[in-house]
Structure 1
Amino acid sequence: MVLSKFLMCLLYIVTGLPLCCRFGAAACRQYSSSSGYPNVSLSSPLPGIPKPVFASVDGQEKHETRITTLENGLRVASQNKFGQFCTVGILVNSGSRHEAKYPSGIAHFLEKLAFSSTSQYGSKDEILLSLEKHGGICDCQTSRDTTMYAVSAEVKGLDTVVSLLSDAVLQPRLLDEELEMTRMTVRFELEDLNMRPDPEPLLTEMIHAAAYRGNTVGLPRFCPVQNVDKIDRKLLHTYLRSYYCPERMVLAGVGIEHEQLVECARKYLLNVKPVWGVGTPDKVDRSVAQYTGGIIKMEKDMSDVSLGPTPIPELTHIMIGLESCSFLEDDFIPFAVLNMMMGGGGSFSAGGPGKGMFTRLYLNVLNRHHWMYNATSYHHSYEDSGLLCIHASADPRQVREMVEIITREFIQMAGTAGEMELERAKTQLKSMLMMNLESRPVIFEDVGRQVLATGKRKLPHELCQLISKYIKGISYRISPISQLTSRPHSPAKMVVCLACTGSSGRTSDVSWRRLCGYVQQGLTYSMTAPLTLVCRGVVCQWALELQSCVCCIEFSMVTLMLFFICGE
């Protein structure tokens, strides 16, 4: 193609004649503007097309969150948003933390049973067909403290959406075949969780169990295998009768008028009697999270789990954490800034500027120690407690150094933070907040969770003002150890989670006794104060044999708790 064009140009230069003279008018017709196609300007709207409606942007919040409480205690919260679609859902103050009086796993079952057959719809297919008429989708998600039923659809289908939500939450049939299918789904999900090469979900589950031993947020979020066959319709109705009551619910909507949502709520949620009957508030578990720490052992063999012919690399995953604060306290914003300042990630992760290459875990850990595979900071916050932790991964032979490095990062939190890194962390936090709140489902969840927990909502610009408020003198506010040791009711405690995964199920030639010794040495060498070893007397023969390796290490007002997940 290029050669033919070159020869034609050369012929034109030699002969001096235009191409149309040598090859005729047809030769240049396809390149001329005299064809039969209309000449449409790209700078003016196309004819016959409706004029588009654009949203105006001035940097200010256009719509404030409006809240109405109905006669039965149900709160209705909404925020209008530009667009033809809306997201509406019901949030319930229930989750795995409320299962102390029940077999663990009820919230997990309810998540999988959501949007099944109801009094109006014979099956989930009928629900999906009714939503398809309005371009809608539905979903249910549970966490440790909240259950959320959500639907996204066109605004003109709001009446159908609220009617469906009311039916799905208050009128589920819970048929035997649906329960049996849910049991199969739960078993598959548990098997998939244990076979994942990435141990982060499992470590998150286990560090909560270690930090809050047997209470509230320490209860398992996933249904234990031994409880799958114990959960039936009668047990679910007993749980729903206590927790699925109007005063523990919020109907939230984004992208709709508040009056329309309140009208639909009065129509479908005000005088509706649930299938399980009316509950009594005195049966609700109102326990407060008790941060305890502890030791747990799990044997795991990854020798037959691989995504391909290459076996899973033998790595030691450690998660070190300490108690932070609840999202209701004033220190929640400083802890969020601290978590952003620590940042971190993997030794290799795709992406460009803005992903946190100047955070402490990147600068001090990943960039300085080539053998570190991962170092990431996490912050879990609840209404009565919180957990700040760092997840790190490395070769089993580097356990002692890894523990020492991560523990030193925790201790350096109590030091002075540079003004530049604080400004960078605040800017990243505000940027992440505003970016996430561009999505309608995220706005819905933010509105629903804030109203459910506090009865009101802080707008994004208010949160940004709170973040900017601590620009000066924040160093002493983001010191978790100094903050927690100043609490009179309990000392600060660290939780250490250790997980080893590999193709052989063992950590190569490093024995578990030596591995635990490395953890202890890493913790010891990273502290500047004298240590006093105290054996915990754990009811686990494996822990009793280790004695000085698996122990509670106390120094000053800080207590370090060890929690292990070991390979077979």
Structure 2
Amino acid sequence: MAAVVLAATRLLRGSGPWGRPRLRRFSSGGAHPGVPLSSPLPGVPTPVFATVGGQEEFETKVTTLDNGLRVASQNKFGQFCTVGILINSGSRYEAKHLSGISHFLEKLAFSSTARFGSKDEILLALERHGGICDCQTSRDTTMYAVSADSKGLDTVVGLLADVVLQPRLTGEELERARRAVQFELEDLSMRPDPEPLLTEMIHEAAYRENTVGLHRFCPPENLAKMSREVLHAYLRTYYTPDRMVLAGVGVDHEQLADCARRYLLGAQPAWGAAEAVDVDRSVAQYTGGIVQEEDFIPLAVLNTMMGGGGSFSAGGPGKGMFSRLYLNVLNRHHWMYNATSYHHSYEDTGLLCIHASADPRQVREMVEILTKEFVLMGGSVDVVELERAKTQLMSMLMMNLESRPVIFEDVGRQVLATHSRKLPHELCALIRGVKPEDIQRVASQMLRGKPAVAALGDLARLPPYEDIQAALSSRDGRLPRTYRLFR
């Protein structure tokens, strides 16, 4: 910082040809020596900032059509927009259907439709507006999205409606999707990073055979069973207007609503218009208890406070290592490869977990270190530590929302789940309001439930589940004596 200030000062003052200081207009050195950097310089014109339409209102607008479909938009300055359809569907709703359908449908997205003979035709239509497309599925949401020039909004919405409601699902496309899923499964099993598999395993352990605990990836044995009829049965149940949100960022709300009425109101899907009667409305059941929705913000702050990452920080040793998992774990135990906190949040439940890895010979000691950290969550919270975590969480929130696709997903997911959207300043106010007792309360409540454990690799020295549960219920987080490496 000192080097930057000195460089700026020398650039502004400089030297004349005879060695005398040369002062520039508006320079604070000499001409206006008493003006602090936080105040405008005398004589400098007042800046004028660009806005959308000259008067942009920072709000998310929501309109519900007659068929139950919601249209949500967020204005944002720029030439391009991101528009998509989010559907309340995913692996958590597959209990009465073939497991892996959502994963399979993701690979079929943006293939041929009633109006477009192939995926190439779709891409060419988007290319005229500088557009790109993508489809992503999660445990509770399927998202079809397009980013393109705002002038092509009508084309984009019409294309999205066709892709979602009128897919042809030809035999050739089904076979291509089978190969894509098969390749992804093989790649998943060979990746050196175990995080995706561990995430699946921890959900299966925490929510056994229900909702978000169901397989997110298509099992290999189900690939051959994926047929047009099987897919249509699922689509008929969950791809209904009342379970959809058309979300847009960087668009005029009324124009987006008009496009929705034109292409999505009264549209007949390829699988017929029969009413869905088999919708799975199960509430997620955690094996040891349910995390309450009102505790979402304190748990997010707790997750940031735990932090963590790899054993070598991205900025070099000693930089940015202020979270608990860095200070208490990675900085003290050189043999641990990784320790990272994750917070998975859903409409009706949530999961806070720590992923860690080490040499198989030190698995028992690693588990005890993690159980100690979990128990410490319910202990005293330093005010400076809490304020740092809240500031970091707000900073990540605001920086992520500088990206148009991220705003789109945030708008769509919130409106899909709650029919409205909390704006960033509202979320920041909630984060600022978190107190040490809130962290202690949610941590203590979490520790009273049964833990979910997932392990991968050489597990000969992994302590029994009962001992892990006993350690989390103790005051110091220690495993029973027979499993302690150091007494």
TM-score range, shorter chain: 0.7 to 0.9
Shift in Å at residue 515 of structure 1?
Answer: 1.1
Structure 1 counterpart of 2:110, from 112, 115, 122: 115
How many pairs align?
Answer: 431
Aligned partner of residue 436 in structure 2, secondary structure: coil
- Cα gap change, 1:420 to 1:279, in 2 (>3 Å): farther
- Cα gap change, 1:246 to 1:261, in 2 (>3 Å): same
2:413 is matched with which residue? 449
User: Separation in 1 of the partners of 2:250 and 2:50?
Assistant: 13
- Asked whether the equivalents of residues 400 and 521 of structure 1 are also in contact (C-alpha less than 8 Å), the reply is no
User: Separation in 1 of the partners of 2:471 and 2:416?
Assistant: 45
Alignment-mate amino acid for residue 528 of structure 1: S
User: Separation in 2 of the partners of 1:478 and 1:373?
Assistant: 28
Give 5+ residue unaligned stretches, structure 1: 1-52, 294-322, 486-490, 501-506, 534-547, 550-568
- Asked whether the equivalents of residues 324 and 385 of structure 1 are also in contact (C-alpha less than 8 Å), the reply is yes
- Asked whether the equivalents of residues 313 and 321 of structure 2 are also in contact (C-alpha less than 8 Å), the reply is no
Alignment-mate amino acid for residue 244 of structure 1: Y
**Over 6 Å off, 4+ runs:** 352-355, 518-523
- Asked whether the equivalents of residues 108 and 222 of structure 1 are also in contact (C-alpha less than 8 Å), the reply is yes
1:496 is matched with which residue? 453
- Asked whether the equivalents of residues 344 and 356 of structure 1 are also in contact (C-alpha less than 8 Å), the reply is no
1:372 is matched with which residue? 336
Aligned partner of residue 275 in structure 1, secondary structure: coil
1:77-156 pair list within 5 angstroms: 77-156=72-151
Alignment-mate amino acid for residue 86 of structure 2: L
1:261 is matched with which residue? 256
Aligned partner of residue 267 in structure 2, secondary structure: coil
Structure 2 counterpart of 1:203, from 190, 198, 201: 198
- Cα gap change, 1:371 to 1:324, in 2 (>3 Å): farther
- Cα gap change, 1:145 to 1:61, in 2 (>3 Å): farther
- Asked whether the equivalents of residues 86 and 256 of structure 1 are also in contact (C-alpha less than 8 Å), the reply is yes
Aligned partner of residue 451 in structure 2, secondary structure: strand
- Asked whether the equivalents of residues 302 and 439 of structure 2 are also in contact (C-alpha less than 8 Å), the reply is no
- Asked whether the equivalents of residues 415 and 475 of structure 1 are also in contact (C-alpha less than 8 Å), the reply is no
Q: Which has the higher strand share?
A: 1
1:466 is matched with which residue? 430
- Asked whether the equivalents of residues 80 and 250 of structure 2 are also in contact (C-alpha less than 8 Å), the reply is yes
Alignment-mate amino acid for residue 421 of structure 2: R
Structure 2 counterpart of 1:343, from 303, 307, 330: 307
Alignment-mate amino acid for residue 374 of structure 2: F
2:393 is matched with which residue? 429
Alignment-mate amino acid for residue 444 of structure 2: S
User: Separation in 1 of the partners of 2:207 and 2:216?
Assistant: 13
Question: How far does the alpha carbon of each residue in 1:37-64 deviate from its partner, in whole angstroms, 9 at most, with x for none?
Answer: xxxxxxxxxxxxxxxx96369xx98431
Q: Kindly name which structure, 1 or 2, has the bigger radius of gyration based on alpha carbons.
A: 1
- Cα gap change, 1:476 to 1:86, in 2 (>3 Å): closer
2:322 is matched with which residue? 358
Q: Does 1:334 align with 2:298?
A: yes
2:11 is matched with which residue? none
Give 5+ residue unaligned stretches, structure 2: 1-47
User: Separation in 1 of the partners of 2:431 and 2:319?
Assistant: 19
User: Separation in 2 of the partners of 1:459 and 1:259?
Assistant: 20
Alignment-mate amino acid for residue 516 of structure 1: L
Alignment-mate amino acid for residue 102 of structure 1: H
1:194 is matched with which residue? 189
- Cα gap change, 1:122 to 1:256, in 2 (>3 Å): same
Question: How far does the alpha carbon of each residue in 1:209-260 deviate from its partner, in whole angstroms, 9 at most, with x for none?
Answer: 1111111000000000111111110010010001001000000000010010
User: Separation in 1 of the partners of 2:339 and 2:149?
Assistant: 42
Alignment-mate amino acid for residue 179 of structure 1: L
2:157 is matched with which residue? 162
Identity of aligned residues (%): 71
Question: How far does the alpha carbon of each residue in 1:23-47 deviate from its partner, in whole angstroms, 9 at most, with x for none?
Answer: xxxxxxxxxxxxxxxxxxxxxxxxx
User: Separation in 2 of the partners of 1:335 and 1:181?
Assistant: 42
User: Separation in 1 of the partners of 2:266 and 2:189?
Assistant: 44
Structure 1 counterpart of 2:384, from 420, 426, 429: 420
Q: Which has the higher helix share?
A: 2
User: Separation in 2 of the partners of 1:269 and 1:354?
Assistant: 54
Alignment-mate amino acid for residue 267 of structure 2: V
2:437 is matched with which residue? 475
User: Separation in 2 of the partners of 1:336 and 1:353?
Assistant: 26
Q: Does 1:325 align with 2:291?
A: yes
Shift in Å at residue 165 of structure 1?
Answer: 0.2
User: Separation in 2 of the partners of 1:364 and 1:401?
Assistant: 14
- Cα gap change, 1:481 to 1:267, in 2 (>3 Å): same
User: Separation in 1 of the partners of 2:140 and 2:467?
Assistant: 37
- Cα gap change, 1:83 to 1:103, in 2 (>3 Å): same
User: Separation in 2 of the partners of 1:101 and 1:469?
Assistant: 42
Shift in Å at residue 459 of structure 1?
Answer: 0.4
Shift in Å at residue 516 of structure 1?
Answer: 3.1
User: Separation in 2 of the partners of 1:119 and 1:104?
Assistant: 27
